[in-house]
Amino acid sequence: FNGGTWNGQACECPPDYGGDKCQDEPAVCQNGGSWDGIKCVCTSLYEGSKCETVVSSIDIEPENVSAQMELTVKVTNQKFSQELLNRSSSEFQKFNETFTKQMDIIYSGIPEYETVNITKLTPGSVVVEHDVILKAKFIPDYKEFINKIAKKVEEKIKNATQEQILNNDTCTTLLCFNMTATKVQNISVTYDPEEECRKKAGKDFAEHFFVEYKDERPKCITRCMPGFKASLNCNFGTCRLERSGPRCYCLTTDTEWYSGETCEFSTKKSLVYGLLGAVGAVVLVGLVILLVFVLRSKREVKRQKSKVNQLYQWHEEDGGPAPGTFQNAGFNISEGIRNSQWTQNISKANKQTNKAQNKIVESNPTISISTININGLNTSVKRVDF
């Protein structure tokens, strides 16, 4: 696959592809990582199959710690010359060799003593400004330890000049010193684990890396590194360092969900599913009840409408006026005819009206009754409103 060739024994894959058949495509290496044909090779600050995760610790442990003391002594048995200012001259080389031998003798009882380095020579007999180089194995309280060594160095050089005074100013050593001119000016340590830690972390993550000691060794770590006092306990989750700081990513199992800032809360899936089922059942029952109510309401409306239509039909069959109107039988009779037939018709009309009225009352209609006098004849007119 992917342009590979068979050499008789195995597939020879093109760059960036792998596998026994060249089927594995190269991963997209992130954060400066590079593909070596098999895997991503990450920088010291990242890890993971694609170099996507910031490491939780950086190796900064030194074997030794170096320090230097700036001292000034005055050599009284040597004369200053301009040749001493030339570091390549034979005079300087000779003085440097003699001075170094004398210092080696003076500091011989200090195991951490390494050597001396002359930095400047000035007149006044010969005033020697120099550095005493110290080297010690790293320990957590290395600064305090270096300070103790520096005090021993100071004591040694002062004792050497004191012996000269006790011998009536008779100097039997290679070089003689003026006690009052001996000065310790400065002590500096070349190693700082905190600074080294921040430097290796880079500017994007420097604020999230710090030094914590374990087994008397400095560890440059983040809070995602387990096993330390400042470690972030993500409980049922995984700690990852982002640019904003460490963050817990909670797990999800077949039976539970985990949540919270440090994944300290757990929720059983069975409980959630049960609650959702119960809520769904309640909603379904509510919908069924609502549907039944709507259907019954529609049926009742239809039934009432049917009653009203039947009432209209009865009323019309009995010769009554249509609901909402009135009919006066007197207008259909001649003005000059006033006989018993008219009275009977009116009586019959009243009976039919009363009968229709009784039917209408059963359906709760509104009935209005009016009396009109036409040519001395009182006529009742009924109006039905629905």
Contacts of 292 (CB under 8 A, 6+ apart): none
User: Do 206 and 176 fall within a single domain?
Assistant: no
Contacts of 171 (CB under 8 A, 6+ apart): 76, 77, 164
In-domain check, residue 270: no
pLDDT at 339: 47
pLDDT at 325: 52
pLDDT at 157: 86
Burial of 311 (0-12, 13-18, 19+ CB in 10 A): buried
CA distance 184 to 169: 23
243: Cα separation from own chain's centroid:
9
Last residue of a domain, one of 190, 206, 233: 190
Last residue of a domain, one of 190, 213, 244: 190
User: Do 81 and 139 fall within a single domain?
Assistant: yes
Pairing of strands 126-137, 40-41: unpaired
pLDDT at 368: 55
pLDDT at 54: 94
Q: Are 236 and 244 in contact (CB under 8 A)?
A: no
Neighbour count for residue 223 (Cβ, 10 Å)? 20
Q: Structurally, how many domains does the chain consist of?
A: 4
- Whether the model clears a pTM of 0.85, i.e. scores above it, the answer is no
Eight-class DSSP state of 171:
-
User: Do 37 and 97 fall within a single domain?
Assistant: no
Sign of CA dihedral 143, 147, 150, 156: negative
Sequential pLDDT tens for the chain (386 residues): 677 788 878 887 776 566 677 776 666 788 988 888 778 899 989 999 889 999 999 988 777 888 999 999 998 888 899 999 999 999 999 999 999 999 999 999 999 999 999 999 999 889 999 999 999 988 888 888 998 999 999 888 888 777 665 555 567 677 888 878 888 888 888 888 888 899 999 999 999 999 998 887 889 999 999 999 999 999 989 999 999 999 999 988 877 888 899 999 988 776 667 777 778 888 888 888 888 888 888 887 777 777 767 776 766 666 655 555 545 544 444 444 444 454 555 455 555 555 544 544 444 555 555 555 544 545 554 555 55
User: Do 12 and 103 fall within a single domain?
Assistant: no
Contacts of 141 (CB under 8 A, 6+ apart): none
SS3 content of the chain, % helix, strand, coil (to 5): 35, 30, 35
In-domain check, residue 379: yes
Quickly list DSSP for 283-345: HHHHHHHHHHHHHHHHHHHHHHHHHHHHHHHHHHHTTPPPTT----GGGGS-TT---HHHHHH
User: Do 245 and 259 fall within a single domain?
Assistant: yes
User: Do 50 and 75 fall within a single domain?
Assistant: no
Last residue of a domain, one of 160, 190, 220: 190
In-domain check, residue 99: yes
In-domain check, residue 287: no
18: Cα separation from own chain's centroid:
36
The CATH code of the domain that includes 39 is 2.10.25
In-domain check, residue 123: yes
User: Do 84 and 25 fall within a single domain?
Assistant: no
pLDDT at 365: 53
- Strand, coil or helix: 144: helix
In-domain check, residue 151: yes
User: Do 94 and 169 fall within a single domain?
Assistant: yes
User: Do 232 and 329 fall within a single domain?
Assistant: no
User: Do 70 and 169 fall within a single domain?
Assistant: yes
User: Do 173 and 141 fall within a single domain?
Assistant: yes
Q: Both tokens of residue 117?
A: 């380095």
In the block, residue with structure tokens 């059983």: 268
In-domain check, residue 344: yes
- Strand, coil or helix: 34: strand
User: Do 101 and 138 fall within a single domain?
Assistant: yes
Secondary structure in 3-state letters for 41-96: ECCCCEECCCCCEECCEECCCCCEEEEEEEEEEEECCCCCCHHHHCCCCHHHHHHH
Domain around 375 = 315-333+340-385
Q: Both tokens of residue 364?
A: 């709760």
CA distance 268 to 253: 10
In-domain check, residue 136: yes
